[in-house]
């Protein structure tokens, strides 16, 4: 087959006040900036990215690849209409220029919301179908946190969703899509079933290495082996999206409609039975600090600031945890990574060894939580350009602007903060070595991340604690002011039921 490879990714937190602009797609963070044509093959080579996994597997099977584009922006607020239209034009122009095609592979997220479209991916597919028709096979890779709609599922021939969180199987998921295209070509993938789960699951409960997800994915594999079933895709959703289709869903593909429907209902029953088993174990910073002290751990204790995760659209500049740690006289503690370009610039101007007065962070607009005012000693500075070394992002080049390692100049605590110029979720240990420090030298490692950090930090820490401090990525879903969510969905496992104003 001659297959076009294209991409348009965003995970949209509709509660974030920060719009997602075209410039965000040019930014190099944990992933590359916007790529066009042959750049897709050259820059993604060897990376744990779905498009790369697909292209490698497709070539090994003898298929021909036509790279169109690849793009992803750091999660944030709604994609502006101008940005959406500009990228859609790039994508459609590239598909036109690709010449005759036998199929299209799309590297999507599944939780994109624009100013005009609640179902961003559904609109992407609608526009491609409007030009290329309904007969051209289209398959897609999707993020674990996809908010899938019936309209999207109706338009896609096949899809594969990441099965790990942290997402260690991104390239593998892309490779699975080659199998789906070949099954489609051989008319083995004509039936599908789709159902949405009537309770939302916060990201802090979605870790696939914890209960009940371990058992759920074991059951998924068991059902997927049944005759007539091609694949079962369980997307756990992205709850900080106030749209009708927010939340988890199940999609089953196969060659026998009766079997596909039955398996979808069987797995749905498993997910419903697991509802009460989802837990957050969220605690306050004070509780986490006291527990960490009592553990007397021989390895660093990790405190995850789960609600200030830029990987879920948060600002990564809230200071609630910082203030609590200073008040609690924490020792041998480092926070990573707080985004404050002005603080990083001030540190570079003053130089290592200087002490500067700063109003650090706190510009996100979180009610009642402003900058942290103090004197800070500058321990190290760096340019913010480094290469990831962990399993999830290995080989990815990061460029997040001038960085600094600061220490609160208070005699009764030892609290250090890694500051960056651009938002960066702390998912890789290279961020520490870039500033000349070793995470194993600390008693407490505070990370602004929800789950992705686990891939890098679980091997070096015996104890991981999740902290619920103010942030723009709320994990306590009952506190969110939903307006568009479909009615009769529970706000969290066993949580209160949301009733839309229309009652529908």
Q: What is the pLDDT of residues 85-127, one digit of tens each?
A: 999 999 999 999 999 999 999 999 999 999 999 999 999 999 9
pLDDT of amino acid 30: 85
**Partners of 114 in beta bridges:** 79
Q: What is the pLDDT of residues 178-211, one digit of tens each?
A: 999 999 988 878 899 999 999 999 999 999 999 9
Residue 150 reports pLDDT greater than 90: yes
Residues 6+ apart with CB under 8 A from 85: none
Residue 504 reports pLDDT greater than 60: no
Q: Tell me the backbone φ, ψ of residue 381, rounded to 5 degrees.
A: -135, 155
The model scores a pTM over 0.85: yes
d(CA 243, CA 223): 30
| Residue spans of beta strands (DSSP E) within 361-501 | 372-382, 385-387, 397-399, 403-408, 415-420, 444-447, 463-467, 489-490, 497-498
Residue range 350-377: mean pLDDT, rounded: 92
Phi-psi sector, 302: left (phi>0), alpha (psi -120 to 50), beta: beta
DSSP symbols for 29-79: SSS---EETTHHHHHHTTSS-HHHHHHHHHHHTT-EEEE-EE-B--SBSPB
Q: Quick one: what percent of the chain has pLDDT higher than 70?
A: 99
pLDDT of amino acid 302: 98
Task: Give the domains, in start order, of the chain with CATH numbers.
Answer: 2-277 (3.40.50.2300), 282-475 (no CATH)
């Amino acid at each position: 087959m001659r297959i076009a490879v294209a991409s348009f990714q965003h995970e949209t937190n509709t509660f974030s006040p920060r719009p997602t602009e075209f410039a965000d797609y040019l930014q190099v963070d944990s992933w590359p900036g916007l790529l066009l044509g042959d750049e897709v093959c050259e820059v993604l080579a060897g990376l744990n990215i779905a498009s790369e996994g697909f292209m490698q597997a497709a070539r090994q099977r003898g298929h021909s690849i036509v790279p169109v584009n690849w793009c992803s922006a750091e999660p944030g607020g709604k994609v502006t209409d101008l940005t959406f239209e500009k990228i859609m034009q790039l994508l459609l122009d590239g598909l036109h220029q690709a010449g005759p095609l036998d199929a299209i592979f799309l590297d999507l997220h599944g939780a994109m919301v624009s100013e005009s479209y609640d179902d961003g991916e559904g609109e992407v597919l609608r526009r491609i179908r409007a030009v290329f028709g309904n007969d051209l096979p289209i398959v897609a890779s999707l993020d674990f946190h996809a908010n899938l709609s019936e309209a999207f599922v109706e338009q896609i021939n096949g899809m594969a969703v990441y099965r790990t969180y942290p997402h260690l199987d991104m390239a593998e998921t892309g490779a699975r899509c080659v199998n789906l295209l070949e099954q489609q070509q051989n008319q083995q993938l004509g039936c599908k079933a789709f159902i949405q789960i009537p309770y939302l699951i916060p990201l802090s409960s979605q870790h696939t290495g914890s209960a009940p997800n371990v058992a759920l994915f074991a059951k998924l594999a068991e059902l997927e082996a049944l005759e007539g079933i091609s694949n079962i895709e369980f997307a756990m959703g992205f709850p900080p999206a106030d749209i009708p289709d927010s939340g988890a869903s199940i999609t089953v593909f196969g060659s026998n409609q009766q079997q596909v429907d039955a398996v979808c209902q069987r797995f749905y029953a498993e997910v419903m039975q697991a509802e009460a088993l989802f837990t957050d174990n969220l605690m306050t910073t004070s509780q986490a600090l006291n527990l960490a002290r009592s553990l007397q751990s021989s390895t660093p204790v990790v405190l995850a600031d789960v609600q200030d995760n830029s990987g879920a659209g948060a600002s990564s500049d809230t200071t609630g945890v910082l203030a609590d740690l200073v008040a609690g006289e924490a020792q041998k503690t480092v926070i990573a990574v707080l985004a404050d370009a002005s603080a990083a610039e001030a540190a570079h101007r003053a130089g290592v060894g200087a002490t500067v007065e700063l109003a650090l962070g706190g510009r996100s607009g979180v009610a009642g939580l402003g900058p942290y005012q103090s004197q800070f000693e500058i321990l190290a500075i760096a340019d913010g350009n480094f290469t990831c070394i962990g399993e999830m992002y290995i080989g990815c080049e990061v460029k997040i602007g001038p960085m600094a390692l600061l220490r609160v100049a208070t005699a009764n605590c030892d609290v250090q903060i890694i500051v960056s110029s651009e938002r960066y979720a702390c998912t890789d240990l290279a961020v520490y070595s870039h500033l000349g420090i070793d995470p194993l030298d600390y008693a407490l490692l505070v990370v602004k991340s929800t789950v992705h950090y686990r891939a890098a930090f679980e091997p070096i820490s015996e104890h991981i604690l999740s902290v619920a401090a103010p942030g723009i990525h709320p994990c306590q879903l009952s506190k969110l002011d939903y307006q568009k969510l479909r009615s009769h969905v529970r706000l969290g496992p066993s949580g209160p039921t949301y009733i839309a104003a229309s009652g529908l």
